[in-house]
Amino acid sequence: MNKLLLIVTLIILYGHLSHAQTDIIQQMHDIAVVEQKVMMPMRDGIRLATDIYRPKSGGPFPIIFSRTPYNFNTFGDGEPRTRTYQRAIEAVKRGYAYVIQNERGRYFSEGDWDILGTPLTDGYDAFTWMKNQSWSNGKIGTLGCSSTAEWQMAVAALDHPSHAAMVPQAFGAGVGRVGDFQEQGNWYRGGVEQMLFIAWLYSVQHDEMRPRLPEGISTEDLLRIQEFYDMSPEYQSVDWAEGLKTLPIDQIIKAAKGPVGIFDKMIQRKPNHPDWFTGGLYHDDMEIGVPSFWFTSWYDVSISPNLALYNHVRHNTADPLIAGNQYLVIAPVLHCRYTRATENTIVGERNVGDARLDYDGLIYGWFDHWLKGEENDILSKTPKVQYYTMGSNEWQSSDTWPPAGVEIETYYLSSQGAANSLYGDGTLSTSAPDTDQPDGFHYDPHNPVPSYGGNVCCTGNAVQGGAFDQRAMETRHDILVYTTEPLAEGIEVSGFVESTLYVSSDAKDTDFTLKLIDVYPDGTAYNLDETIQRARYREGYDKEVMMEDGEVYELKLSALSTSNFFKKGHRIRIEISSSNFPRFARNLNTGGDNYNEAKGIVAFNQIHHSKAYPSHIKIPIKK
């Protein structure tokens, strides 16, 4: 009996594997040569734990390669382990070798892990090793979602000759700087910490004092111990709805009795810290050299930077073969939830209709063309951009993003000085206001506006992502509400929504948030996208400029993105405040470092709207 199957049989007898897992493992061994815990050497001698699944007959084979920080050990309970086998079986059945590898310093891989800081050479060296195997045809495609996608872009800029195609999905955590966006892998938005990484790192970073396997341990020993010891620590369950309230924020993981690791260093980095520009993050001075099929979604954590990256590659890549072979899908789902769309797709509370798409057909059609050389018409039959429009609930296609025919229309903020809450007098119209009657509110960082829905991931029970009726939030006095009149005709808004606010504050530094909303005739108000800007970074992320009481400042917020059909009788709304917590960290308004402070002060913040200070948003309307 195959040694691995013998181990599986013994584990079944002792109840550690379910029969479903056993069936999947048996399916794999029926069709594939399985090599687990292959220790792939890097140029500095560090070895990365790798599992390889390849068809039993024929060859050589193209390779689908997935590199991840997550645990994919076969043994043990849980969906990720089963999912790895399911993906491998699908690839093998289609004539591919499927290779999955843990990043440096993760589980059985040697070395030290540094989120987004692992050497780019690890990816390059892995490509070279795989290319040189007797069973490889020398063509490698990379595939993965979220943290299994984020490393692909920077490595693609190294232009390894065997890296023939890639499919990054929900890849924002790998985007450092692109154009006006400097989020440093989703760590920031507008210079404000996105708190998802704190909850995520609690259960991902390995403690500095973790046990380590002996240097140079053999594959035979790794195969033996993986059945009962998989280097996967167990963490206490944390109520992140409460845990993320901890101040200072650099103490959140410590207060939750979590591991000591890379977080303690990262939380101190400012948006332009030099460490962001080393290691695995992609920046826009790097030229991607790989045909790419990008998958994004409207309620992902970084939809706008993702779309900006897609456009950047298309318009700034010197090789016309690469620039002309960039394809994009934008789905109406949450982070990495593409295949969960149904004929009645619910995202948060909103039904956005039948959002299904043949993802496997697109992905394998893509790989069949670039890795196998098949003339399958995938390039000619697939639109450059496939995007889902909510409201009209339909898939649409375009050659560009935004789609052709979009015209920008400017909507101005206006009020009689009382836009506070849903019951205020804030309006949004194409006519600029004549006089300046600014709207003001007190922002108390110890009583922030709660996050309710939105473009999120990875925050546990703290924030539920998606579209939710915002009316309950809009009763707060520290939210300014600006709304159009009911639309006489339906309009499709597809593209980037830009906003410019003229602001003042009695604090040295504070934040300003903006949210775009579709208001139904019955008053239901569904959020579409949101952003935030820290005032001290209004002149760029390479310097900090504090505010002075009584001065009015122009504030350009990072662009929002959506495709939404506002039906006849609906209204367009924006909300403005100074907090969206715990989606984003609170500004304590002191002008200090913020991450190491526990006490904040109340700020009185104002939005100005007049001929001199025309606060506005620019909406892309498809004609």
pLDDT tens, 450-465? 999 999 999 999 999 9
Query: Residue 191 in contact with residue 73, Cβ under 8 Å?
Result: no
Antiparallel, parallel or unpaired: β 181-182 and 603-608: unpaired
Is 60 exceeded by the pLDDT of residue 359?
yes
Is 50 exceeded by the pLDDT of residue 13?
no
Antiparallel, parallel or unpaired: β 136-145 and 61-68: parallel
Rounded mean pLDDT, 254-262: 94
Strand partners of residue 334 = 299
Q: Higher model confidence: residue 205 or residue 308? A: 308
Rounded mean pLDDT, 158-176: 96
Rounded mean pLDDT, 84-89: 90
Report d(CA 547, CA 535) in Å as an integer. Answer: 8
Terminal-to-terminal C-alpha distance of the chain:
66
Query: Residue 142 in contact with residue 163, Cβ under 8 Å?
Result: yes
Rounded mean pLDDT, 220-247: 91
Is 90 exceeded by the pLDDT of residue 488?
yes
Give residue-wise pLDDT tens across range 589-619.
Answer: 999 999 999 999 999 999 999 999 999 999 9
Report d(CA 578, CA 233) in Å as an integer. Answer: 38
Report d(CA 208, CA 233) in Å as an integer. Answer: 13
**What six digits make up the tokens of 383?**
């639109």
Say whether 105 sits in a helix, a strand or coil: coil
Identify the helix (H) or strand (E) that includes residue 326: strand 326-334
Report d(CA 267, CA 274) in Å as an integer. Answer: 14
Give residue-wise pLDDT tens across range 102-118.
Answer: 999 999 999 998 876 56
CATH no. for 1-113: 3.40.50.1820
* Selection from 555, 532, 434, 411 nearest residue 483 by Cα: 411
Give, as one character, the DSSP assignment of residue 435: S
Report d(CA 227, CA 230) in Å as an integer. Answer: 7
The CATH superfamily label for domain 139-181+288-400 reads Alpha/Beta hydrolase fold, catalytic domain (3.40.50.1820)
- Reported as a pLDDT band with limits 50, 70 and 90, residue 12 is very low
Give residue-wise pLDDT tens across range 388-444.
Answer: 999 999 999 999 999 999 999 999 999 999 999 999 999 999 999 987 899 999 999
Q: What is the mean pLDDT of the chain?
A: 93
Report d(CA 503, CA 507) in Å as an integer. Answer: 12
- Biggest CA pair distance of the chain: 85
Rounded mean pLDDT, 511-529: 98
pLDDT of residue 79: 53
In the chain, where does the domain assigned CATH 3.40.50.1820 lie? 1-113, 139-181+288-400
Query: Residue 327 in contact with residue 401, Cβ under 8 Å?
Result: no
Find the angle CA(164)-CA(166)-CA(172) to the nearest 5 degrees: 150
Residue-level length of the chain: 623
Tell which CATH classification among 3.50.50.100, 2.60.120.260, 3.30.750.24, 3.40.50.720 matches the domain 406-622: 2.60.120.260
pLDDT of residue 146: 94
Is 50 exceeded by the pLDDT of residue 502?
yes
Give residue-wise pLDDT tens across range 315-337.
Answer: 999 999 999 999 999 999 999 99
Instruction: For the chain, give the percent of residues with pLDDT over 90.
Output: 85
pLDDT of residue 8: 47
What is the pTM (predicted TM-score) of this model?
0.95
